[in-house]
């Protein structure tokens, strides 16, 4: 794997990134929240921490630290092991990771689920990554049916897989002006090149950024 990709290679990678818009993401999480406490919490954890399905499946109850409001993530494929803050989203319950996890854990405790995995399957034990992907596709299909019925742009077919949530976190964060290095830390990237592929080169954003900086430079 090329550890020092060229600018053209980075642009080519960016063009291939598939993600949800902020509006599509909110709708998907709202649908999941109404249908399943487990699925809603799981998809929020995947999104807010840019996880792979296998990483979410492996999460244990011991990885959640409620006193510090942190989660420990053992990432795969050479990514960094990280300890990250859980996310509270005031005014947006569909995006509030802390509330979603508490809701799921409370429901889980009522059933006396014996497994140590956070997101237990109905048969016991952890969920298989393929099952997580199928659940995401199910919710994406429901969102698309609703969006198409009112003439709104549906989630692209190429983004109807759970890995799109990782792409979505990185893309939305960078487009909102979050520092590349911090985005990389959040996503567990071991190399900056892994984060740079989410830079889509918006001239509008670049223009706004320079307008702000020019006032500082020539003050």
Tell whether the model's pLDDT for residue 12 goes beyond 60.
no
Closest residue by Cα to residue 118 from 71, 182, 167 = 71
Distance between CA atoms of residues 37 and 93, nearest Å? 12
Q: Where are the beta strands (DSSP E) in the chain?
A: 64-65, 70-73, 82-85
Three-state DSSP class for 203? helix
Quick one: average pLDDT of 157-176? 87
Indicate the pLDDT class of residue 8, thresholds 50, 70 and 90.
Answer: low
Judged against a pLDDT cut of 60, whether residue 17 lies above it is answered with no
What are the residues whose beta carbons fall under 8 Å from the beta carbon of 159, sequence distance 6 or more? 18, 19, 20, 140, 167, 168
pTM recorded for the entire structure: 0.80
Average pLDDT over residues 18-34: 94
Contact between 154 and 142 (Cβ < 8 Å): no
On the question of pLDDT at 7 being above 60, the answer is no
pLDDT digits (tens, 9 = 90+) for 190-217: 666 665 666 655 555 666 667 777 777 7
What would the pLDDT profile of 103-145 be if each residue is shown by its tens digit? 999 999 888 778 899 998 877 788 999 999 999 999 999 999 9
Model confidence band, residue 11 (pLDDT cutoffs 50, 70, 90): very low
Per-residue DSSP letters for 11-71?
HHHHHT-----HHHHHHHHHHHHHH-HHHHHHHHHHHHTT--HHHHHT-BGGGEETTTTEE
Residues written for the chain:
219
pLDDT at 1: 47
Checking if the pLDDT of 2 tops 80, the result is: no
């Amino acid at each position: 794997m090329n550890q020092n990709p060229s600018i053209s290679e980075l642009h080519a990678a960016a063009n291939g990134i598939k993600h949800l818009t902020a509006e599509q993401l909110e709708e998907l999480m709202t649908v999941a929240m109404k249908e399943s406490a487990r699925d809603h919490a799981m998809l929020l954890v995947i999104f807010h921490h840019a996880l792979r399905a296998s990483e979410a499946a492996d999460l244990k109850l011991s990885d959640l630290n409620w006193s510090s409001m942190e989660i420990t993530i053992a990432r795969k494929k050479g990514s960094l092991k990280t300890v990250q803050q859980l996310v509270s989203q005031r005014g947006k319950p569909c995006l509030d990771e802390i509330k979603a996890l508490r809701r799921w854990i409370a429901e889980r405790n009522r059933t006396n689920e014996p497994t140590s995995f956070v997101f237990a399957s109905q048969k016991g034990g952890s969920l298989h990554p393929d099952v997580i992907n199928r659940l995401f596709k199910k919710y994406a299909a429901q969102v698309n049916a609703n969006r198409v019925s009112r003439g709104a742009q549906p989630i692209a077919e190429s983004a109807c897989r759970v890995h799109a949530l990782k792409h979505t976190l990185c893309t939305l964060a960078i487009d909102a002006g979050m520092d590349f290095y911090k985005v990389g830390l959040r996503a567990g990237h071991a190399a900056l090149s892994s984060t740079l592929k989410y830079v889509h080169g918006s001239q509008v954003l670049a223009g706004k950024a320079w307008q702000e900086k020019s006032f500082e430079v020539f003050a």
